[in-house]
């Protein structure tokens, strides 16, 4: 562009400098303007205010029996709430975090040891792992098994075997008597 | 045509050798020879194109948050206004953008009328332009239906009912358009689908329009073709910068509406959810359709065995189709109104007639409005069918300059 | 061709005056709203009082179903205040695991509770007249806030010879003058927490402000952003004009 304009104007250095300055100033303001005006279009595809506002779910824990897992929906995703047995708690606590793909202590993941609450989405490619119903396989480590690509999770929802890179996510939770608020 | 530049960048060269996109852009947008005397009235073609792009971009993201269902459409639009990030901005740009689009296109069209841009060899260019206008109207109308307010619903009812004027097959056609026995969910669904489709049809037509334009190049205020290279300047940087400056001015005024008077062109009734049982007191289309609406309503009498309703519909469509015949209805050999003293007057009378029609289209069909609308309609057609053909024969044009340079008072062969 | 532009501008102006054409009722007089003009904002105290009026008076018949309690955060209500306001209503939710509907206290994410389950119930309870939803009311009426204020303060005795139908009320600014809604605001009808005297004018002013906000909650952000955007466009256009002049200067 500056080649053509230089040829068109072509009156000595002063004029060239002034024009170049104007060209750069205009192009910069224009580029910033275009950038700023594209942002609203992009941002409109982010979660909207009403979606963000529905971010918490409250669950009554009292009917869940020891050894039972229930599935609730939080932000459109399944969340597993498992009332763990003493054996499961013991198995989860006995693991040395150093040996894990994604090292985490069970005590950190389950503040109240009998309740394990994890997002039921495999950290590999987003399938829902099996193990939430009695008839389903729980994998080699007694937790969950993802049938899509064979990831095995333990009784603390940690990845033990298979392609998944991370443990099942623990959502933000607040216990309040016999209920828990997720999110 | 100057030869394409030798591309220095090896990747560009590699691509251009196989698919000469860079040479194409260079020839059509950079090097493209343009008359040097174009006025600012020539900005509105490219401005229309830019507004079209803005409409498509905002429209696509709006469609992502809109629900085309009679139970949810109104609320989903208000959800866009309240909860979607920048939703209000995008919707107001899209809503007012329709008006901006028609402002640009109408100025573009009236510029063509004034300077005789439709005359040989640009007839197809002109006709494609009118087809674009028709497609725009259809698109705008269907877009107006989507918020599912009272005006949406009743505009859709009234306009689709026009087709019932067709003899014998009218009723089945209307049922086919509706997908039911009244305007309902199937209608809204298909209008949404078509409202999404038609802008891309317009983009295709715009490409054809530009193709035709680039064959014989732009007309100019003098109305004589460029005769030498020094009457032409490359499109870039001269007209790119001029168009960008024009865009700045347009955006300034346009955004004043978007940010400070976003609902100025909206009937308040369209913020009342559609109610099939109650018709609003005055059904008015958007301002850009009002002249045609006036022509539709002007026919209040049967002619022989043809019912008034059918004639009204025919008149309305004819009022646009007749523009396509203008290159042959205008018999004058002179293009620009600058050198046509009587046409210049006639042009403004015709322009005023269009304004009157717009006024009538917005007014209730009662009292004096009816005969005024009928006279204005008669004049509209008279302008094309009687005035234009006769004017070419009886008008004595002023002497037309032999070239653009002569008109600009430049010496015959001097350099810059 | 310049004349052309002027005529066109006049034409646009014409269209504007046209669309404001009055119906049979007189146009409600314009009020000096603090939210008028390019810099106008909603007065926060007016809004708070207006919410009080809506909840105590309007809400018994008119829904506000496009507005959520959490939206109040946009005009300065704290999270605690919003929770309290929301919790004051009972909301039907469900079905629960037993497949039954149950009721619970409102939450900030809930929409304002509608007084009637459906339009039919609303009609049945109001002698066949439908109390319209107020979510977009100032956008949905010609004259907007001025009309609403005029309507709320426009209840008068009918002029001599004007026959008001059974169950209807005379209102100066309502199209046709006969409105099914009885005068909703009465002197001292609500008790304002801030101690303001609740005259009819005061309540009409406050609730109109509140409903204007409900109709256009984006208005303040829109105007703020608009000023910035227009300034940038103005500078950019000036720069483009300078550049255009320079580039074209070589031609003449």
Residues B266 and B314 in one domain: no
Residues B230 and B297 in one domain: no
Residue among C7, C38, C175 minimizing CB distance to B260: C38
Mutation target vs C (from A49, A54, A70; most C CBs, 10 A cutoff): A49
* pLDDT at position C15: 41
Residues B36 and B68 in one domain: yes
| B26 included as an active-site residue | no
| A45 and chain B in contact, CB less than 8 A | yes
| B348 and chain C in contact, CB less than 8 A | yes
Phi, psi of C67 (to 5 degrees): -105, 135
| C242 and chain A in contact, CB less than 8 A | yes
A9/chain C closest Cα distance in angstroms? 5
The residues in B 43-72 lying below 8 A from A, measured between CB atoms, are 57-58, 61, 64-65
Q: Return the DSSP state at A33.
A: H
Q: Minimal CA–CA distance to B323: which of B296, B297, B292, B349? A: B292
The four Cα atoms B191, B193, B199, B204 give a dihedral, to 10 degrees, of -130
Residue among B248, B272, B363 minimizing CB distance to C237: B248
The percent of residues above 90 in pLDDT, for chain C, comes to 72
Rounded distance between C-alpha atoms, residue B401 and residue B380, angstroms: 31
Mean per-residue pLDDT, A58-62: 85
- Which run of H or E residues covers position B201? helix B185-216
Mutation target vs B (from C123, C135, C136; most B CBs, 10 A cutoff): C136
The per-residue pLDDT for range A14-54, each reduced to its tens digit, is 666 776 889 999 999 999 999 999 999 999 999 999 888 87
Choosing from B247, B276, B305, the residue where a domain stops is: B276
Residue B410 in any domain: the answer is no
Contact A48 B85 (CB under 8 A): yes
Q: Find all residues with CB under 8 Å of B104, minimum gap 6, and list them.
A: B44, B47, B48, B51, B250
Task: Pick C20 or B157 by higher pLDDT.
Answer: B157
Residues B216 and B348 in one domain: no
The tokens for B18 are 């196989």
Q: Is the dihedral of CA C188, C115, C73, C216 positive or negative?
A: negative
pLDDT band at residue A13 under the 50/70/90 scheme: low
Residues B382 and B249 in one domain: no
Whether the ω angle into residue C49 lies within 30 degrees of 0, i.e. cis, is no
Chain B residues with CB-CB distance to C233 below 8 A: 248, 251-252, 255
What are the distances in angstroms from CA A98 to CA A101, A116, A141, B101, B381?
8, 21, 17, 65, 88
Model confidence at B268: pLDDT above 90: yes
Model confidence at B24: pLDDT above 70: yes
Residue B415 in any domain: the answer is no
C24/chain B closest Cα distance in angstroms? 11
Model confidence at B415: pLDDT above 80: no
Choosing from B276, B305, B321, the residue where a domain stops is: B276
Residues B323 and B381 in one domain: yes
Chain B residues with CB-CB distance to A1 below 8 A: 236-237
Q: Minimal CA–CA distance to C131: which of C66, C205, C182? A: C182
CB pairs under 8 A between A and B: 47
The percent of residues above 70 in pLDDT, for chain B, comes to 98
Q: Minimal CA–CA distance to B338: which of B116, B126, B122? A: B116
| A48 and chain C in contact, CB less than 8 A | no
Residue B68 in any domain: the answer is yes
Contact B234 A40 (CB under 8 A): no
A91/chain C closest Cα distance in angstroms? 32
Q: Return the DSSP state at B385.
A: I
Q: Return the DSSP state at B231.
A: G
CATH number for the domain spanning B37: value is: 1.20.810.10
Comparing alpha-carbon positions, the chain B residue that sits nearest to A43 is: B85
Comparing alpha-carbon positions, the chain B residue that sits nearest to C224 is: B259
B258/chain A closest Cα distance in angstroms? 14
Model confidence at B13: pLDDT above 70: yes
Whether the ω angle into residue B121 lies within 30 degrees of 0, i.e. cis, is yes
The per-residue pLDDT for range B353-405, each reduced to its tens digit, is 999 999 999 999 888 999 999 999 999 999 999 999 999 999 999 999 999 98
* pLDDT at position A52: 85
Contact C239 A8 (CB under 8 A): no
Chain B residues with CB-CB distance to C13 below 8 A: none
Rounded distance between C-alpha atoms, residue A54 and residue A75, angstroms: 7
* pLDDT at position C14: 42
Task: Provide the b/e sequence for B381-413 (b: ≥16 CB within 10 Å).
Answer: eebbeebbeebbeeeebeebbebbbbbeebeee
A79/chain C closest Cα distance in angstroms? 16
Mean per-residue pLDDT, A154-182: 90
The tokens for C12 are 């646009």
Q: Max CA-CA distance within chain C?
A: 85
Chain C residues with CB-CB distance to A26 below 8 A: 236, 239-240, 242-243
| A41 and chain C in contact, CB less than 8 A | no
* pLDDT at position B247: 97
Mean per-residue pLDDT, B232-236: 94
**Could you say which of B16, B286, B330, B353 is catalytic?**
B286
Model confidence at C16: pLDDT above 60: no
Domain count, chain B: 2
Residue B27 in any domain: the answer is no
pLDDT band at residue C74 under the 50/70/90 scheme: confident
Cα C157 to its chain centre, rounded Å, is 27
Choosing from B252, B276, B300, the residue where a domain stops is: B276
Model confidence at B193: pLDDT above 90: yes
Model confidence at A11: pLDDT above 60: no
Comparing alpha-carbon positions, the chain C residue that sits nearest to B360 is: C18
Mean pLDDT of chain B: 94
Contact C235 A29 (CB under 8 A): yes
* pLDDT at position B371: 95
| B276 and chain C in contact, CB less than 8 A | no
Rounded distance between C-alpha atoms, residue B153 and residue B147, angstroms: 9
Residues B141 and B230 in one domain: yes
- Quickly tell me which residue has 């394990």 as its tokens: A116
Comparing alpha-carbon positions, the chain C residue that sits nearest to B348 is: C4
Mean pLDDT of chain C: 88
Residue B263 in any domain: the answer is yes
Contact B85 A46 (CB under 8 A): yes
Residues B325 and B364 in one domain: yes
Comparing alpha-carbon positions, the chain B residue that sits nearest to C2 is: B41
Ordered strands of the A159-161 beta sheet: A142-146, A151-154, A159-161
Contact C15 B352 (CB under 8 A): no
Residues B363 and B242 in one domain: no
Residue B310 in any domain: the answer is yes
Residues B147 and B259 in one domain: yes
The four Cα atoms B156, B161, B162, B163 give a dihedral, to 10 degrees, of 110
The percent of residues above 90 in pLDDT, for chain B, comes to 87
The per-residue pLDDT for range A97-148, each reduced to its tens digit, is 888 889 999 888 998 899 999 999 999 999 999 988 888 888 899 899 999 9
The per-residue pLDDT for range B68-121, each reduced to its tens digit, is 999 999 999 999 999 999 999 999 999 999 999 999 999 999 999 999 999 999
The partner residues of C93 in beta bridges, in order of sequence, read C102
- Which ranges of B261-387 would DSSP assign to H, the alpha helix? 290-298, 308-329, 341-362, 369-382
> What range does the domain containing B143 cover?
32-276
Rounded distance between C-alpha atoms, residue B70 and residue B76, angstroms: 10
| A51 and chain B in contact, CB less than 8 A | yes
* pLDDT at position C20: 38
| C224 and chain B in contact, CB less than 8 A | no
Out of A13-27, B249-263, B274-288, C169-183, give the one with best mean pLDDT.
B249-263
Residue among C108, C240, C251 minimizing CB distance to A53: C108
| B363 and chain C in contact, CB less than 8 A | yes
* pLDDT at position A34: 93
Model confidence at C199: pLDDT above 90: yes
Q: Return the DSSP state at B101.
A: H
Residue B20 in any domain: the answer is no
Model confidence at C21: pLDDT above 80: no
As for the ipTM of the complex, it is 0.92
* pLDDT at position B19: 95
Residue among B233, B242, B358 minimizing CB distance to C15: B358
Residues B195 and B123 in one domain: yes
Residues B314 and B212 in one domain: no
Rounded distance between C-alpha atoms, residue C150 and residue B312, angstroms: 41
- Which run of H or E residues covers position B140? helix B123-145
| B234 and chain A in contact, CB less than 8 A | yes
Range of weakest confidence among B92-96, B210-214, C126-130, C132-136: C126-130
Residue B416 in any domain: the answer is no
Neighbours of chain B (3+ CB pairs under 8 A): A, C
Rounded distance between C-alpha atoms, residue B261 and residue C219, angstroms: 10
CATH number for the domain spanning B310: value is: 1.10.287.980
Range of weakest confidence among A29-38, A67-76, B8-17, B288-297: A67-76
Range of weakest confidence among B48-52, B350-354, C157-161: C157-161
Report the catalytic residues of A.
Answer: 149
Model confidence at A8: pLDDT above 60: no
Q: Minimal CA–CA distance to B408: which of B215, B227, B213? A: B227
* pLDDT at position B3: 66
């Amino acid at each position: 562009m500056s080649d053509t304009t230089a040829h068109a104007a072509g009156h000595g250095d002063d004029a060239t400098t002034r024009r170049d300055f104007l060209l750069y100033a205009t192009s910069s303001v224009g580029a910033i303007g275009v950038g700023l005006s594209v942002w609203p279009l992009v941002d409109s595809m982010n979660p909207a205010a009403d979606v963000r506002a529905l971010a918490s779910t409250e669950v009554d824990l009292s009917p869940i029996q020891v050894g039972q897992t229930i599935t609730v929906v939080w932000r459109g995703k399944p969340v597993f709430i498992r009332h763990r047995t003493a054996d499961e708690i013991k198995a989860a606590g006995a693991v040395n975090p150093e040996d894990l793909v994604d090292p985490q202590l069970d005590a950190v993941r389950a503040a109240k040891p009998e309740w394990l609450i994890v997002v039921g989405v495999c950290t590999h490619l987003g399938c829902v792992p099996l193990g939430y119903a009695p008839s389903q396989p729980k994998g080699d480590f007694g937790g969950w098994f993802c049938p899509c690509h064979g990831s095995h999770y333990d009784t603390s929802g940690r990845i033990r075997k298979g392609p998944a890179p991370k443990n099942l996510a623990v959502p933000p939770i607040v216990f309040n008597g016999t209920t828990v608020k997720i999110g | 045509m100057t030869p394409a530049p030798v591309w220095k960048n090896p990747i560009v060269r590699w691509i251009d050798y196989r698919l000469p996109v860079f040479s194409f852009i260079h020839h059509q947008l950079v090097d493209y020879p343009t008359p040097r005397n174009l006025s600012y009235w020539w900005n509105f073609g490219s401005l229309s194109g830019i507004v079209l792009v803005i409409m498509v971009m905002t429209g696509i993201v709006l469609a992502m948050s809109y629900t085309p269902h009679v139970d949810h459409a109104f609320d989903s639009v208000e959800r866009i206004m309240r909860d979607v990030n920048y939703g209000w901005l995008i919707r107001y740009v899209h809503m007012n953008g329709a008006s901006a689009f028609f402002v640009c296109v109408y100025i573009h069209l009236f510029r063509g009328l004034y300077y005789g841009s439709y005359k040989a060899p640009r007839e197809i260019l002109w006709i494609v332009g009118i087809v674009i206008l028709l497609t725009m109207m259809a698109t705008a109308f269907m877009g107006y239906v989507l918020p599912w307010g009272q005006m949406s619903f009743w505009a859709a009812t009234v306009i689709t009912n026009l087709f019932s004027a067709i003899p014998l097959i009218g009723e089945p056609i209307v049922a086919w358009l509706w997908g039911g026995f009244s305007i309902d969910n199937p209608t809204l669904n298909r209008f949404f689908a078509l409202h999404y489709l038609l802008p891309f049809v317009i983009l295709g037509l715009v490409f054809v329009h530009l193709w035709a334009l680039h064959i014989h190049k732009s007309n100019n205020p003098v109305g004589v073709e460029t005769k030498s290279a020094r009457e032409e300047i490359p499109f870039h940087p001269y007209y790119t910068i001029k168009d960008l400056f024009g865009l700045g001015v347009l955006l300034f005024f346009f955004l004043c509406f978007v940010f400070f008077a976003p609902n100025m062109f909206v009937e308040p009734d369209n913020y009342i959810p559609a109610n099939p049982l109650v018709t609003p007191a005055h059904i008015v289309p958007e301002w850009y359709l009002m002249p045609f609406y006036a022509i539709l309503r002007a026919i209040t009498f049967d002619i022989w065995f043809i019912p008034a309703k059918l004639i009204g519909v025919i008149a309305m469509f004819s009022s646009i189709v007749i523009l396509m015949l203008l290159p042959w209805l205008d018999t004058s050999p002179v293009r620009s109104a600058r050198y046509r003293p009587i046409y210049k007057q006639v042009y403004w009378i015709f322009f005023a007639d269009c304004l009157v029609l717009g006024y009538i289209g917005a007014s209730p069909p009662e009292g004096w409005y009816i005969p005024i609308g009928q006279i204005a309609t008669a004049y509209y057609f008279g302008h094309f069918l009687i005035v234009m053909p006769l004017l070419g024969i009886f008008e004595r044009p002023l002497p037309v300059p032999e070239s653009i340079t002569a008109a600009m008072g430049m010496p015959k062969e001097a350099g810059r | 061709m310049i004349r052309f532009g002027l005529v066109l501008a006049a034409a646009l102006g014409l269209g504007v005056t046209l669309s404001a054409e009055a119906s049979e009722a007189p146009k409600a007089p314009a009020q000096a709203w603090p939210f008028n003009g390019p810099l106008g904002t909603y007065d926060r105290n007016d809004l708070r009082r207006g919410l009080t009026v809506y909840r105590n008076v309007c809400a018994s018949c008119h829904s506000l179903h496009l507005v959520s309690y959490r939206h109040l955060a946009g005009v300065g209500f704290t999270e605690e205040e919003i929770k309290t306001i929301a919790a004051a209503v009972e909301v039907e939710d469900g079905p629960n695991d037993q497949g039954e509907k149950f009721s619970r206290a409102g939450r900030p994410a809930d929409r304002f509770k509608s007084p009637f389950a459906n339009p039919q119930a609303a009609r049945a309870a109001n002698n066949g007249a439908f109390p319209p939803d107020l979510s977009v009311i100032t956008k949905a009426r010609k004259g907007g806030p001025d009309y609403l204020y005029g309507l709320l303060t426009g209840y008068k005795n009918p002029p001599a010879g004007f026959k008001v139908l059974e169950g209807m009320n005379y209102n100066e600014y309502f199209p046709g003058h006969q409105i099914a809604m009885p005068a909703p605001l009465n002197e001292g009808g609500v008790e304002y927490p801030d101690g303001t005297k609740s005259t009819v004018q005061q309540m009409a002013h406050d609730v109109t402000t509140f409903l204007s906000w409900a109709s256009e909650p984006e208005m303040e952000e829109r105007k703020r952003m608009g000023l910035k955007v227009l300034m940038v466009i103005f500078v950019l256009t000036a720069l483009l004009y300078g550049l255009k002049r320079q580039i074209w200067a070589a031609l003449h």
